[in-house]
Chain A
Amino acid sequence: MENMLPQHRQELGWSQQRLADELGVSRQTIISIEKGRYDPSLPVAFRLAAVFQCSIEDLFTPQ
């Protein structure tokens, strides 16, 4: 799944560790999501959307 996570994260000026702390997951999880190697669970996708104040569709695009 393609995603806009790095762009949204950089807009906020957050590091991967900061985003991981906000979501309560490991930094490796953020790295893998951003690289498109890991599709997050629905709860994590909702938390990401809440953090970036957008919809899940704005963050993820099915390939």
Chain B
Amino acid sequence: MGDKVIARSRWGQARFGGGTAALLSTSLAIGVLISAGLGGLFVLLTDVERPLLAFAVVVVCTLPVAAALGWAVLVERSTLTGAIDKPEDSIESAWYQKATSGAFGDILLAGGLGAAVFSFTGLEAPIGWILAAVLLFAMLDFAARYLWLKKSAA
């Protein structure tokens, strides 16, 4: 018996055995469910004048990311064009590890300095803004470190 040939494509196939069309439609359905849930939560938890419009805006804004999340969870990686068999052994995995550990150290440093500044100066800010700033800092720090490692290896 010969090895089974895996059909690869840009969008891949589903883990549950479906083809590309089934994968994409299921991902979209999951995305709609998540987005609608988030939109409903937003309307319930906030005091907005036009709830239907707010619901629609949240759904439109979150749908692409939610659908992409569904696709990432459901896709069988080995059916993607260009996917390598052992990503954990590739240098990109090492870059990822270095970038995340470096970013973690930066977050500790920045968090400590930020806490000291806020304590000494008596500054106050909404906790939501602070968490968003920490998240943005972590993402930018990771991206900068990863790209730097990639550029250094070129």
In this assembly, does A15 line the interface, its C-beta being within 8 Å of a C-beta of chain B? no
In this assembly, does A44 line the interface, its C-beta being within 8 Å of a C-beta of chain B? yes
**Which of the segments B22-30, B36-44, B66-74, B90-98 contacts the partner chain?**
B90-98
CB distance from A18 to the nearest CB of B (A): 13
In this assembly, does A16 line the interface, its C-beta being within 8 Å of a C-beta of chain B? no
> CA–CA, A11 to B59, complex, Å?
58
Kindly count the residue-residue contacts between A and B in the assembled complex, taking CB atoms under 8 Å apart: 39
> CA–CA, A28 to B90, complex, Å?
8
Query: Number of contacting residues on B, CB 8 A?
Result: 10
In this assembly, does A38 line the interface, its C-beta being within 8 Å of a C-beta of chain B? yes
Q: Mark B68-92, 1 if CB is under 8 A from A, else 0.
A: 0000000000000000111101111
> CA–CA, A14 to B87, complex, Å?
21
CB distance from A21 to the nearest CB of B (A): 8
Q: Can you give 28 A-B contacts (C-beta < 8 A)? A: A20-B84, A23-B86, A23-B89, A24-B84, A24-B85, A24-B89, A25-B84, A25-B86, A25-B89, A25-B90, A26-B84, A26-B90, A26-B91, A26-B92, A28-B90, A28-B91, A28-B92, A29-B91, A31-B153, A32-B91, A32-B153, A37-B153, A38-B91, A38-B153, A40-B89, A41-B89, A44-B86, A44-B89
Q: A24-B89, A25-B87 are in contact. List 15 more A-B contacts (CB 8 A).
A: A23-B89, A24-B84, A24-B85, A25-B85, A25-B90, A25-B91, A26-B91, A26-B92, A28-B91, A29-B89, A29-B90, A38-B91, A38-B153, A40-B89, A44-B89
